[in-house]
Structure 1
Amino acid sequence: MPRQNLRILLVEDHPFQLISIQVLLNNQGHFLLTPALNAAEAFSAMQRSEEPFDLLLCDQGLPDLPGLELIDQAWRKAMVRQAILLSGVDDEALQALGANARQRGIPLLGCLSKPLHGPDLARLLANLPETDT
């Protein structure tokens, strides 16, 4: 059963998609959400946070930094515990992003296609390791 108290940083540059993902997460019982429209806003939110976010849910196609780079930098600075990458690219490109993350040692739970589907997200969140938060 997924934890309902996850602190999630959600980074998506399209406001409509940002809202729809927030609604999807709320419908799955996740309410501790911090939205950001780009990498700069995400870093600002991470710097203000006293604890690392449990999860960084991040779009790959951000205007100021590729999502995988944001995840890598945030993880190396201990600002996030785990991450899920979102992208509208085809399945082959999505698999390549996942392979790139694994090669670099980035703690990626997985890569999901956009538009995001609730069951796919729930499946990945169910695999999120327990933390002390």
Structure 2
Amino acid sequence: MPRYPLRILLVEDHPFQLLATQYLLRSFGFEHLTAAENAAQAIHLMTLAETPFDILLCDQCLPDLPGLELIEIASRRRFVTAAILLSGLAPVELSALKKQAMKRDLPLLGYLSKPLNKDELIQLIQTPSTL
């Protein structure tokens, strides 16, 4: 199995989803994971990090801040290089969020539905800016 050197900050407010997603990511070959349960905790962890995270993988529906807003904060402060939204929202809503991200010049690679699909994740991260 290939190993990926990317440093990922995973933000998910549901404890079971957080554990399950960490397990999936590790099984996909992503070993450098940092987990947060909400936006405030994620911002704190990003502030403490010595270097920016390669990818912010976050839920859109966080209790304290929408995922897209967290991506904007992280991007403007240069805490992350790229981001991917996780969500159970309808594809049309996710597409609208992606358009908003483009208008705001955010480094959103795209979005993924839960549970994660390895092929879709690999396709999103295989860009020159993240590998």
TM range (shorter): over 0.9
TM-score w.r.t. the length of structure 2 is 0.93
Is the 8 Å Cα contact of residues 28 and 122 (structure 1) preserved in structure 2? no
Unaligned runs of 5+ in 1: none
Distance 1:14 1:50 in 2: 27
Match of 2:99?
Answer: 99
Unaligned runs of 5+ in 2: none
Is the 8 Å Cα contact of residues 75 and 106 (structure 1) preserved in structure 2? yes
User: What is the CA distance between 1:128 and its match in structure 2?
Assistant: 5.4
Q: Does 1:24 align with 2:24?
A: yes
Over 3 Å counting, the alpha-carbon distance change for 1:16 and 1:81 in structure 2 is same
Is the 8 Å Cα contact of residues 94 and 113 (structure 1) preserved in structure 2? no
Q: Secondary structure at the match of 1:105?
A: coil
Match of 1:88?
Answer: 88
Match of 1:72?
Answer: 72
Is the 8 Å Cα contact of residues 82 and 130 (structure 2) preserved in structure 1? no
What one-letter code is carried by the residue in structure 2 that aligns with 1:27? S
What one-letter code is carried by the residue in structure 2 that aligns with 1:45? L
The 5 Å alignment of 1:33-44 reads: 33-44=33-44
User: What is the CA distance between 1:5 and its match in structure 2?
Assistant: 1.0
What one-letter code is carried by the residue in structure 2 that aligns with 1:107? P
Is the 8 Å Cα contact of residues 21 and 115 (structure 2) preserved in structure 1? no
Q: Secondary structure at the match of 1:24?
A: helix
User: What is the CA distance between 1:107 and its match in structure 2?
Assistant: 0.6
Match of 1:125?
Answer: 125
Is the 8 Å Cα contact of residues 54 and 81 (structure 1) preserved in structure 2? yes
Instruction: Give a deviation string over 1:58-81, Cα, whole Å, max 9, x none.
Output: 000000000000000110000000
TM-score w.r.t. the length of structure 1 is 0.92
**After TM superposition, which residue ranges in structure 1, 4 or more long, deviate above 6 angstroms?**
none
* Percent identity over paired residues: 55
- How many matched pairs? 130
User: What is the CA distance between 1:127 and its match in structure 2?
Assistant: 2.4
The alignment yields a C-alpha RMSD, in angstroms, of: 1.5
